[in-house]
């Protein structure tokens, strides 16, 4: 079971998919593309390892975390 988690000012939004179900993978890929188009960065998280920045959806990923772009000034 994979999971997309978007972190923003409203909290933690989650979306799960089962890699063995093509229709769930397709929806998760659409959600991934939507979050990326909104300017979020994505990182694949596996076990206790450091996150890896990704730019394309990976249906085999365990957890993908989205964080908003950094702003400053």
Residue where the block lists tokens 């694949």: 44
Closest CA to 17 of 26, 54, 53, 65: 26
At 51 the pLDDT is 85
A 10 A CB-CB count for 41 gives 16
Residue 73 binned pLDDT confidence (cut-offs 50, 70, 90)? low
pLDDT in tens, 5-58: 999 888 899 999 999 999 999 999 999 999 999 999 999 998 777 789 999 999
Instruction: Give domain limits for the chain.
Output: 2-67
Contact between 63 and 47 under an 8 Å Cβ cutoff? The reply is no
DSSP 32: H
């Amino acid at each position: 079971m994979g999971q997309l988690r978007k972190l923003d000012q409203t909290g933690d939004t989650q979306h799960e998919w089962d890699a063995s179900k093509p229709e769930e993978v397709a929806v998760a890929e659409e959600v991934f593309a939507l979050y990326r188009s909104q300017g979020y960065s994505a990182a694949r998280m596996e076990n206790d390892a450091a996150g890896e920045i990704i730019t394309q959806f990976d249906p085999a990923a365990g957890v993908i975390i989205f964080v908003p772009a950094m702003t400053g000034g």
